[in-house]
Structure 1
Amino acid sequence: MKAFIFMAGVSALGFGFGTGALAQQAAQPAASSDATTGTSDKSAGEIVVTAQRRHENLLQTPIAAAVLSGADLAQKGVVTVDQLQFAMPSVVINNFGQGLEFNIRGIGKAEHNSQTTTGVITYRDGVPSFPGYFQEEPYFDIADIQVLRGPQGTIVGQNSTGGAVFANTNDPIVGGGYHGYLNANFGNYTDAGVQGALNVPISDTFAARVAFFGDRRDSFYTITGPGGTAYTGNPGNVREAAGRISFLWKPTSNLSILSKTDFDYLDMGAYPADPFEDRFATIPGTNTPNPNHTDLFNITANGPQQARDKFVRSILKIDYAFDSGIKLRSISGFSTGNTAYAADLDGTASGIPAQGPFVAVPANETFYDTVTETQFSQEFNVISPDNKPVTWLLGAFGLWDTYFFPAPFSNFDINANSTVTGVYAPYYNYQLYGRNPERSLAAFGQIGFSLTSTLKLDLGGRYTDSRTTNYVSVQQYGTLISDSQIASSHAFSYKVSLGWKIDPDNFLYAFAASGFKPGGLNVPVGLGNPAPFAPETVQSFEGGWKSNFGGGHGHLTIDGFYNNYKNFQVIIGYPTYPTFGDELNVANTTRIYGFEAEADYKIGGLTLDGGISVVHSALGQFYANDPRNYISGVSAVPPPCDPNVGPASATCYNLKGVQQAYSPPFTFNASAKYDLDLGQDNRLTPSVNFGHVAPQWATLFENVNLGDRLQARNILGAQLGLKHGSWTVTVYGTNLTNEHYVAALNSGLDFAGPPRQYGLKLLEVF
C-alpha cells in the first residue's frame, strides 16, 4: 500500500499528467516579418526579442535569453516543450504525464501538485498558458520561441522565479496576399501527421490566418497483461487534432487588433509507466539478479489507462500608438479545458513491488481523474517610445484560474486495491470533489535612463497579491472530510540592471533582481486541514558579455549568475506522522549559481550553434522524513522530525547541501547544418543536432535504491532535406542512438522519454 499512501500524500489535489505530441513536426515556413513575432535573422547580425514588450536587439539587452525561429525548431526536432531541453542550455523538463516539471537554472517546479504554481511561466501569443495541466500542446505554425532565464516580472505578465517561455505563432499579414504551407509526415510506429496554414486577405485593412495540426501514432510500448495475456487497455496510441484561427485588423497605422483562438484535442491514449525497481539489473546492494528487470518500453499492466486533453484558448491583443510614440496595449486571454487521466498506479499486471526488498504485495492500484480548468488573464501596458533618453513602461496584470473537480467522488479516485468490492471498498479509496479558485493581481513598471550614449540604467518594480482557496470534500478511507481554506501571499519584486555598449560588437551587462512564487494549500490527508505552505522568493545576481564576431557572422554570449533561494517548496513526510506527505518550506537559504555560454556562427551555407551551462545547487539546512520508507501496517512510524532542528537520526535526514531536485549540474547542446546550392532552385541541406543533460536527482532524498538518480540524456538527431522550388522533402531521425531514458519519476513509477523515431516529411510553401 506504500505507493498509494505516498501518492495520496503528495498529490491529493492535482495529481496531474498532461499529454504530448510526439510526432515529428514539419519544418515551418519563414515567419511573418511583423515586429510582434520576434523573429530573428542571425546572418544579418541581429536577433530580435519582443518578450520585454519592446522590439529589441537581444545582443544589446541585459537579459539571458535564447530565441528559436519556427525553422530552427523543426531543424532541431523540437515538437513540444519537452524537447527544448535538448536545444538550449539550463533548461530541464521532466514529463510525468498529466503535468511536468519545468526548471531553468534549477528553479521552477519540482513538485507534482496543482496547488504548487510554476516558477517558469509559459506564454502562448502573449498570455499565460494553463499552469498545471495541458502542458503538451504541439508547436505548429510557430513564428518563434523566446526563453528568458532568471526572474521575470517587472515588464510583463506574471511574476516568475526561474524564467519565462514565450511561444509566438505566426500572425496574419495585412496586404500579404494568399500564402501558407502544407506539410505531411510519415514515420515509424505508424506515425502519420499533417499540418498547414493559410494567410487570407480580406480587405486592405483586414486579414485572417488559419492553421491546423493532426497526428496519429501507435504506442511506443509493448504491454503484457496478467499471466502473460494480452493487455486489453489503451497502450498509448496517439490521436491528436488542433487548429487555430487568427484575425488582424489595422484600420489605421496607429491601431491594430489581433485575435487568435486555438482548439486542441490531444489524445495520447495513455502514459504507461513501470515501477522503478524494474530499472535495476541487480537488486541494489547485492549481486542478485533482479527477476523483474525489464526495458522501459516492455512492461506489464492490468488497470485501465487514459490520457486525454481538450481545450480552447482565445486571446485578444489591442495596440494603439499615439503620434507622440507612446503605446497603449491590452492583452486578454481566456482558456477552458478538460483533462481525463487513468493509470495503472502500481505499474504491474499482478501486484505492487515493495519499494526496497522486491516483494510483491497482492493488490491492484489504480488512479482516475477528470478535471476542468478555466483561466482568464488581463494585462494593460503603457509603453514609452524606444528612441528617447528616458524610456518607461507601466503595467497592470490580473489572472483568475479555477480547477473544478466534479462530483461524484469517483471522478478523482486513488484506489489502493481495486480488487476489493462491496462494503469494504471505501476503505481503500482516496477521493475528492470540489473546486480550487486562484487569483493573482499585480502592478509593475520599469524606467530606463541613458546615462551616456553607451551606458543605460534600468530600474523596475512589481507588487503582486495572490490568493488561493479550497472548497473541497474528501472521502478518505471511508471518512468524509470537508476542506474550506484560504491562503494569501504578496510580495514586492525588483530589478536593477546596467548595460554598457562598449562598441557596436561588444555589450556588457549586470543586474540584481528578485522573483516571487505564491504559496498554497495542503489538502486533508489523514490529519484534517494542514497548514498552508509559504511563498518562495529568489534574489538573483547576474552579469554577462555579448559579442558579435567574424564580421557579424557569429554571436557569443557568456553569463554568470548567483541565486539566493528562500522558502523552497518541497513535499516531504508530514513532520509528526510521515506516513503521509505534506508540502513545507525550506526556511534556510538555498544557493544556486553557475554560468552559461551560447554561440552561433554562419558563413556561406554553414550554420553552427551551441550552448553550455554549469549549475551548482545546495539546499539550505533542512531535516525531513522520506514517506516512502513507511508502509502502513508494516513499518513502524518514526519519532517526529522537526524541519528546522531535527535532530538528525536514522529516520530524520539532514538534507543540508543536497542538490536541488531536477537540477542537473551540466547541460550541453550543439547543432550544425549546411545549405548546398545545387542550382536551378535546388538545395540540399543536411543537419545534425545533439543535446546532453547530465544525471539528476528526482527527489531531495537522493536515494539511489528508490530510483531517485535519473541517468544522463544524450539525444542525437539528424535531417537531410532536398528543396526543389516550393517543395522540400526531408528524411529525419530523432534519438538516433535509441537511448531509453527515464523522463520523470513519480510515485515510484518510471516515465520513459520517447525512443528513436524516423521518417519522411513533405513540405510545400506557397
Structure 2
Amino acid sequence: MSAVSVVALSISAQAMAQSGTETAAVQDTEAGANDDQGETLIVTAQRRRENLMRTAVSGSVLSGDELTRKGVANVDQLQFAAPSMTVNNFGQGNDFNIRGIGKAEHNTQTTTGVITYRDGAPSFPGYFTQEPYFDVDNIQILRGPQGTVVGQNSTGGAVFVNTKDPVIGHFGGYAQASLGNYHDLGMQAAVNVPISDSFAARVALFTEHRNSFYDITGPFGSDYNFNKGDQHLYAGRLSLLFRPTDALTIVSKTDIDYLNMGAYPADVYTNRFENLPYGSSTPNPGHTDLFDLHLNAPQAARDKFFREVLRAEYETSSGIRLRSVSAFAKGNIMYKADLDGTASDAPHPLDPGGLARNWTFFDDVDERQISQEFNVISPDDQRFTWLAGAFGVWNKYDFKKPYKLGWNVCYPFDIGACKYLLQGINQTRSLALFGEVGYKITPNLKLEVGGRYTWSRTENDVDVLFYTLPVVDDESERFKNFSYKVSLGWDINPNHFLYAFVATGFRPGGLNVPLPSIYGITAAPFDSEKVQSFEAGWKGQFADGKIRATVNGFYNNYKDFQVGIGYPQFPIAAVEVNVPDTTKIYGAEAEISAHLDRLSLSAGFNILHSELGEFYAVDPRTVTVVGCDPQNGPESSTCIDLSGRRQTYAPNFTFNASASYEIPLGQSDTLTPTINYGHIGSQWATLFQRKDLGDLLEARKIVNAEIAWNHGSWTVTAYGTNLTDQHYVAALNSNLDFAGAPRQYGIKVNKQF
C-alpha cells in the first residue's frame, strides 16, 4: 500500500506555523496555520489551502499553543475549548457529538457520525479514545456533514488532529517536564533533525504517570485489592519528510502507544442521588461522591496500538496536484469492569431491586484498520476549480477466542448459566468516489458543488453463548448512498464574507446479534442514517484582521436515526432500530476572537434545539413482556411515545471563553496569565429521559487557568484545571456513572532549543 502511494506521487497540502524557536522555519504539512496575532487563518481539511474566513464552512482551529493554554490534553477537554461539541467518555469508548449528531450507541456495529483524522487519515472509529495530544501543530474542527471532498462520510462533523511535521534545514525542538497533584509526573519532548537538503526527521515522545482519582473500598469497608485507576502512559512518534524536488513531498508518520489507564472506575447511578426514591425527602443511605466507590470485582483498562500514515503529493508543471494518504493501524483493547458498581457479594442475578446484583464485564479485542485516499486537485488560483477523489476504509474487529468478551451476572461464581459470551469477527468496508467543482460567477461570488457515492458493507462471523444457549450470527449487509453539498460564498469586501449551503451526510447501518432460536425472534439489520443540513453564515474581521467574528444558523433534517431499544417482541433484550419519522435539529453558533497587542480574547457559543420524530419504544431497562411497534405503538405505560423528545447528548447551550494577557518584565521576560471557561448545558443520556434512572446529566462548568513565565528559551508554567473542582458525570453507560476529571494543578517547565 505504501509503495502504491509513492508511485502515485501524492500527499498533503502545505504550510503551518510552529511555536517557539521554530516559527521562522520553512515547512510543509497537512496542517493549517492559526496565528495568534491576526494573520491569515489557513485550513486544509478540505484538501486545499483555504482562508477559513473566506470558506463556506463552519469551523474552529486551535493551534498547539492554544491547546496548551486552554488545558486541552486529550479529546475530553476539547469540548470546553470550542462550541457545539460534547464528549461523554466512558473510558473504553466515547460518545462524541457535534450539534447533537455523532455517536450515542455503545457497540462496534454503530459507526460514529463524527470522524477524527490523525495526520490526514481516519482513526479508529470511537475507540482508543485516550490517545494524548502532544507535539500537535493544530486541531481543525468542522461542524456539519462532511465527506463530499474528503475521506470518510460523516453526519455530524469532522476533527483533524495535525501533528508537527519535520523541517528541512533546521535543528530544534523542545523538552518539557511536569509535576502535579495525584503524584502526576509527565514528560514530553521532540527534536527535529535535518539529515540532508531533501530529508528531515522528527521524533516526539510522551509519558505520564498518575495515581488514581478514586477512593475505592471492598465489601463491608475492606481493602480493595485490584487496580484503582493508576495511569502509566507511553507514546512515541517518528516523522520523516522527504522532498527530492520542489514538486514532490513525502511524509511518513509512525505512532506507537501503550496506554495503561489501570481502570475506568464507575459508580452505580443510584449513589448519585441524595434522596431515594428519586424526588422524595428520604435520605439515600447509599449516596456517595462520584470518586468514593465501593467495588468487589477486578478492573483493568489498557490500550495499545500502532499506526502508520504515509502521505505523498506531486505537483505538475500546470499546478495540478496528485495526492495520496495511506494508513494502517492495529491495536488491542483490554478491559475489565465491576459492572454493577457495588461491593455486594450476593450472587443473585434476578434481584428486582438491583441491590444484590454482582455483575462483571470483560473484553480483549483486536482491531485493525486500513484506509486509502487518492485526490487529483486543480490549482487554487483559477476561476474554475475542481477536485476528484477515491477513498476506501477496511475495519476488522477480532473478538478473541475462546470467548474473550462477555459478562457474568453471578460473580465470583463461574456458572455458565450466568454468562453472556461472544467471540468471532466483525468486518466493515466503505468505498467511495467523490468530487467537487467550483466556479467564480463574479470575482467575489463563488459557487461550489460536490458529490460523493459510497458503498458500505458489514459482515458478522460471530458465536454467542446466551446463558448457555448457542447463537450463531453469520450474516452480512450492504448499504449505499449519494451525498452532496452545494454552497455559495460572497466576498462582500475584503473584511466581510457571507455563505450559504445545503449538504447531506450518511452513516451506514449494521447488524444486530440475534437472540437464541427458542425465542423465535429474528434480529433484522438496522438501516443507514441520513441528514440534510441547511446553513447560512457571516464571517467578518476588523482592525486589520486582529478581531474576527463568525455567526451562523443551521437546520438539520435527520432521517432513520439509529437508536438502541428493547426488542419489540422481547423488550428485556436490546436491539438497534431506526426512528421511522424525521428528527429535527437546528440552532445557531457564534465565535469571536481578538488579538490586541498583548491582550488575547476569544469566545464561542451554540444554541441548539432538537425534536425526535414520531416513534414508540420500550425502555430496555424496564421489565415487561408487552410488545411495542416502533411505528404504531400503541402507547402504554411501557410503550412510550418518544415524539418531540430531545436528541441524546445534545445540550441546548454550550459556551466557551478565554482571556490571556502578556505582561512585559524587562530583558525579554514576560509573564502571561490565562483563564478559560467552558460550559456544557445539561443533556440526556437516553431518549427515555428518566431522571430516576440517572438519564439527566447535569451541566458542566469548567474553569482552567495558568500563569506562564517566559525567560528566553525557558518557560515555567503553573496550571490548574477544573479549578472549582466540579464533580460531574462524564458519561452514563450500563447504569454506571463515569466521573469527569476533578481539580488538577501543578507546574510545567519547558525548554525550547
With normalisation by structure 2, the TM-score equals 0.95
Partner residue of 1:218 out of 206, 211, 220: 211
Give the match for residue 733 of structure 1: 720
User: 1:423-438 alignment to 2 at 5 Å?
Assistant: 425-438=415-428
Give the match for residue 627 of structure 2: 640
Partners of 2:745 and 2:645 in 1: CA distance: 39
Give the match for residue 712 of structure 1: 699
State the number of aligned residues. 729
Farther-moved stretch of structure 1 (127-136 vs 576-585): 127-136
Partners of 1:354 and 1:446 in 2: CA distance: 60
Cα drift, residue 359 of structure 1: 4.2
Cα drift, residue 678 of structure 1: 1.5
Partners of 1:731 and 1:419 in 2: CA distance: 46
Cα drift, residue 441 of structure 1: 0.1
Q: Does 2:614 correspond to 1:621?
A: yes
Give the match for residue 243 of structure 1: 236
Q: Contact between 1:28 and 1:70, CA under 8 Å: does it hold in 2?
A: no
Q: Does 2:493 correspond to 1:503?
A: yes
Q: Does 2:451 correspond to 1:458?
A: no
Partner residue of 1:608 out of 601, 610, 629: 601
Q: Contact between 1:638 and 1:651, CA under 8 Å: does it hold in 2?
A: no
Q: Contact between 2:38 and 2:547, CA under 8 Å: does it hold in 1?
A: no
Give the match for residue 179 of structure 1: 172
Cα 1:606–1:290 change in 2 (3 A) is same
User: 1:354-503 alignment to 2 at 5 Å?
Assistant: 359=353, 361-409=355-403, 411-421=404-414, 425-503=415-493
Q: Cα deviation per residue 1:440-462 (whole Å; 9 max; x = unaligned)?
A: 00000000001101000000000
Give the match for residue 13 of structure 1: none
Cα 1:354–1:594 change in 2 (3 A) is farther
Give the match for residue 567 of structure 2: 574
Q: Does 2:175 correspond to 1:188?
A: no
Give the match for residue 269 of structure 1: 262
Partners of 2:348 and 2:660 in 1: CA distance: 49
> Any idea what SS the aligned residue of 1:629 has?
coil
Q: Does 2:651 correspond to 1:664?
A: yes
Partners of 1:461 and 1:93 in 2: CA distance: 29
Cα 1:652–1:353 change in 2 (3 A) is farther
Give the match for residue 19 of structure 1: none
Partners of 1:466 and 1:535 in 2: CA distance: 10
> Any idea what SS the aligned residue of 1:250 has?
strand
Cα drift, residue 629 of structure 1: 1.3
Q: Cα deviation per residue 1:352-377 (whole Å; 9 max; x = unaligned)?
A: 89999994543421011000000000
Q: 1:330 is matched by which residue type in structure 2?
A: S
> Any idea what SS the aligned residue of 2:79 has?
helix
Partners of 1:37 and 1:576 in 2: CA distance: 51
> Any idea what SS the aligned residue of 2:621 has?
helix
Cα drift, residue 28 of structure 1: 8.1
User: 1:61-210 alignment to 2 at 5 Å?
Assistant: 61-176=55-170, 178-210=171-203
Partners of 1:759 and 1:518 in 2: CA distance: 44
> Any idea what SS the aligned residue of 2:112 has?
coil
Partners of 1:304 and 1:529 in 2: CA distance: 35
Partners of 1:62 and 1:575 in 2: CA distance: 43
Cα drift, residue 551 of structure 1: 3.3
Q: Cα deviation per residue 1:230-287 (whole Å; 9 max; x = unaligned)?
A: 1000000000000000100000000011001000000000000000000000011321
Farther-moved stretch of structure 1 (688-697 vs 127-136): 127-136
Q: 1:643 is matched by which residue type in structure 2?
A: P
Partners of 1:540 and 1:736 in 2: CA distance: 38
Cα drift, residue 336 of structure 1: 0.2
Give the match for residue 12 of structure 2: none
Cα 1:81–1:30 change in 2 (3 A) is farther
Give the match for residue 680 of structure 2: 693
Q: Does 2:21 correspond to 1:34?
A: no
Partners of 1:49 and 1:223 in 2: CA distance: 46
Cα drift, residue 512 of structure 1: 0.3
Cα 1:227–1:536 change in 2 (3 A) is same
Q: Does 2:524 correspond to 1:534?
A: no
Give the match for residue 585 of structure 2: 592
Q: 2:575 is matched by which residue type in structure 1?
A: D
Q: 1:509 is matched by which residue type in structure 2?
A: Y
Q: Contact between 1:356 and 1:706, CA under 8 Å: does it hold in 2?
A: no
Cα 1:30–1:271 change in 2 (3 A) is farther
Partners of 1:758 and 1:352 in 2: CA distance: 40
Partners of 1:358 and 1:732 in 2: CA distance: 47
Give the match for residue 515 of structure 1: 505
Q: Cα deviation per residue 1:630-679 (whole Å; 9 max; x = unaligned)?
A: 1xxxxxx3321000010111110000000000000000000000111222
With normalisation by structure 1, the TM-score equals 0.94
Q: Contact between 1:45 and 1:548, CA under 8 Å: does it hold in 2?
A: no
Q: Does 2:661 correspond to 1:674?
A: yes
Q: Does 2:39 correspond to 1:52?
A: no
Q: Contact between 2:30 and 2:120, CA under 8 Å: does it hold in 1?
A: no
Give the match for residue 16 of structure 1: none
Partners of 2:345 and 2:319 in 1: CA distance: 68
Give the match for residue 321 of structure 1: 315
Q: Does 2:252 correspond to 1:259?
A: yes
Q: 1:159 is matched by which residue type in structure 2?
A: N
> Any idea what SS the aligned residue of 2:187 has?
strand
Partners of 1:702 and 1:80 in 2: CA distance: 29
Q: Contact between 1:619 and 1:658, CA under 8 Å: does it hold in 2?
A: yes
Q: Contact between 1:446 and 1:460, CA under 8 Å: does it hold in 2?
A: yes
Cα 1:506–1:193 change in 2 (3 A) is same
Partners of 1:461 and 1:98 in 2: CA distance: 34
Q: Does 2:289 correspond to 1:295?
A: yes
Partners of 1:29 and 1:523 in 2: CA distance: 55
> Any idea what SS the aligned residue of 2:626 has?
coil
Give the match for residue 305 of structure 2: 311
Q: Root-mean-square deviation (CA), in Å? A: 1.6
Partners of 1:322 and 1:328 in 2: CA distance: 8
Q: Contact between 1:240 and 1:265, CA under 8 Å: does it hold in 2?
A: yes
Q: Cα deviation per residue 1:417-458 (whole Å; 9 max; x = unaligned)?
A: 12333xxx1110000110101100000000000110100000
Q: Cα deviation per residue 1:509-568 (whole Å; 9 max; x = unaligned)?
A: 000000000000111244565110000000000000000023321000000000000000
Partners of 1:741 and 1:357 in 2: CA distance: 29
Farther-moved stretch of structure 1 (527-536 vs 470-479): 527-536
Cα 1:122–1:360 change in 2 (3 A) is closer
Partners of 1:245 and 1:400 in 2: CA distance: 24
Q: Does 2:549 correspond to 1:559?
A: no
Q: 1:81 is matched by which residue type in structure 2?
A: V
Q: Which runs of 5+ in 1 are unaligned?
A: 1-26, 631-636
Q: 2:496 is matched by which residue type in structure 1?
A: N
Cα 1:352–1:617 change in 2 (3 A) is farther
Partners of 2:660 and 2:629 in 1: CA distance: 55
> Any idea what SS the aligned residue of 1:40 has?
coil
Q: Contact between 1:29 and 1:71, CA under 8 Å: does it hold in 2?
A: no
Q: 1:758 is matched by which residue type in structure 2?
A: Y
Partners of 1:82 and 1:71 in 2: CA distance: 18
Q: Contact between 1:483 and 1:529, CA under 8 Å: does it hold in 2?
A: no
Partners of 2:680 and 2:195 in 1: CA distance: 47
Q: Which runs of 5+ in 2 are unaligned?
A: 1-18
> Any idea what SS the aligned residue of 1:576 has?
coil
Partners of 2:383 and 2:289 in 1: CA distance: 62
Q: Contact between 1:351 and 1:361, CA under 8 Å: does it hold in 2?
A: no
- Percent identity reads 57
Partners of 1:563 and 1:275 in 2: CA distance: 35
Give the match for residue 6 of structure 1: none
